[in-house]
Structure 1
Amino acid sequence: MTNTEPQNQPWTDQELAPIRDKVYSYIKDAILGGEYKAGDRLVERNLAEKLKISRTPIREALFKLESQRFVSTIPRKGVVVNEISRDEILEVFLILSSLETLAVRLAAQKINEETIAEFDREIDTLQRIQENPAELDGEELHMEVNLRYNDLIGKASKNIRLHEMLTELKDYVRAFSNLSKHTPGRTMEALGEHLDILVAVRNGQADLAESYARVHIEKAKRTYMKSSL
């Protein structure tokens, strides 16, 4: 029988779990980054050849992405990238509003010297960006700042499950974040909102941090919904 699996694969069978994670992250990031758009087919054979690995981790990654509703399996067509509806966007923001406000409240209540040092570094970064917006030039840098903010709040809440749920939701938000990236002034406005939240959490002001977070999410929702019309 002829071996049809890609040759010279860089990852060994003993590293199957790390391979699965890498493949999942690769495909998810490609969807979130717009390389794969709504309606595009994700063919196991093509992905396996591109990544020079067997189809098994590809199949497992696609199954996980389908469970998270990034893709769907359609009869006679295969795995296709999902289109995100306005109803789904509203649903995500409704959940996000509850979870993120809870996270910032917990973070403010559990703030300590170690956490304060991390918050101070990020606060300094955001203040510097506000003074020199050109420093944030480029979508990748903007996304990096957002990811750092989300990770900092999630870890500071000291609630692992909440952090995981927020990370998954934020990934889903990234799938339609391109709708508002061209909205004039929104990027810097959002970073200013992040700064207000971080300062309130850093100072242990739970009520204020929660209030800022609720306003931030509501503004983000309005921007996305307006852009999707």
Structure 2
Amino acid sequence: MSKLPEIGTKISLTDKAYEIIKDAIMTNVFKPGEILIEEKLAEQLAISRTPLRTALRKLAYDHLVEINSSRNVIVSNIGQKDVEEITVVREVLEPLAVKELENNMKQDEIKKLEDILYTQKKAAKENNYEDLIKMEYEFHVCIGKFTKNKWLYGMIKDINTIVQRYLILSGSLNKYKEIAIEEHEIIISQLKEKQYEKAEASMKLHISNVSSRMLR
């Protein structure tokens, strides 16, 4: 099992452990199907089992690990069915978020999306895959946040955490980065021009395209 950085005796040990292990899963340091051994994790992170177990339960809630009947903690696998099912949910939630923005978007929110797009283009040009993935996530999550609907935002945020991992494992975003960025640019342009119905349709198409690219 790969080595993790120590946490030490800092506050919020559960949250720190959660973030470190989550990052290791998201970046494929811990691979799908790998068993995470509590004793080794606690030793490497320099924390007790109690905050570690709470962190692992949070990761299970996020569908990043599975805890089986034998209490083994296993990094969740990703298959075609997972991608297809999560796409069905995204195709409902994220166009709905765009619809909720109608006549409610502020200029600074448009600017935020444009800044994300700029960073994404820069990352693509510099082959900075880490920033490319981060900006893909930020684009979708920000749209959810701008709705001011905490439940819709929370679901979009959670689901895009899983999508982010899919993208890392499949490598599809790096292969199709120019197309993905162009699709983002179209959505932003339509929001800026207050063409909300078009932006809603473009978001649904973008999500469908992302799914197709991951499954190729």
Q: Secondary structure at the match of 1:80?
A: strand
Alignment of 1:67-78 (within 5 A): 67-75=61-69, 78=72
CA contact (8 A) 1:197 1:209 kept: yes
Alignment of 1:95-174 (within 5 A): 95-112=89-106, 116-123=107-114, 126=117, 130=121, 133-135=124-126, 137-174=127-164
C-alpha change, 1:93 and 1:189, in structure 2 (3 Å) is: same
Number of residue pairs aligned between Structure 1 and Structure 2: 211
Distance 1:155 1:130 in 2: 22
Name the aligned partner's letter for residue 61 of structure 1.
A
Report the Cα offset of residue 93 of structure 1.
0.6
Residue among 180, 183, 199 paired with 2:189: 199
Residue among 200, 208, 211 paired with 1:218: 208
Alignment of 1:36-51 (within 5 A): 36-51=30-45
Question: Match of 2:9?
Answer: 10
CA contact (8 A) 1:108 1:202 kept: no
TM-score in terms of structure 2 length: 0.86
Distance 1:165 1:29 in 2: 20
CA contact (8 A) 2:31 2:75 kept: yes
The alignment-based identity, stated in percent, is 28
Residue among 58, 64, 68 paired with 2:58: 64
Name the aligned partner's letter for residue 89 of structure 1.
V
C-alpha change, 1:125 and 1:161, in structure 2 (3 Å) is: closer
Report the Cα offset of residue 164 of structure 1.
0.8
Distance 2:141 2:71 in 1: 37
Query: What per-residue deviation string (whole Å, max 9, x for no partner) do you get for residues 62-116 of structure 1?
Result: 112223332222355721112122111111010011001111121233112xxx2
RMSD of Structure 2 on Structure 1 (CA): 2.5
Report the Cα offset of residue 128 of structure 1.
7.6
Report the Cα offset of residue 182 of structure 1.
4.9
CA contact (8 A) 2:64 2:76 kept: yes
Structure 2 unpaired stretches of 5+: 1-5
Report the Cα offset of residue 122 of structure 1.
3.5
2:180 matches 1:181? no
Structure 1 unpaired stretches of 5+: 1-6
Q: Which has the larger radius of gyration?
A: 1
Report the Cα offset of residue 185 of structure 1.
4.7
Q: Secondary structure at the match of 1:34?
A: coil
Report the Cα offset of residue 154 of structure 1.
1.5
CA contact (8 A) 2:7 2:45 kept: no
CA contact (8 A) 2:137 2:161 kept: no
CA contact (8 A) 2:167 2:173 kept: no
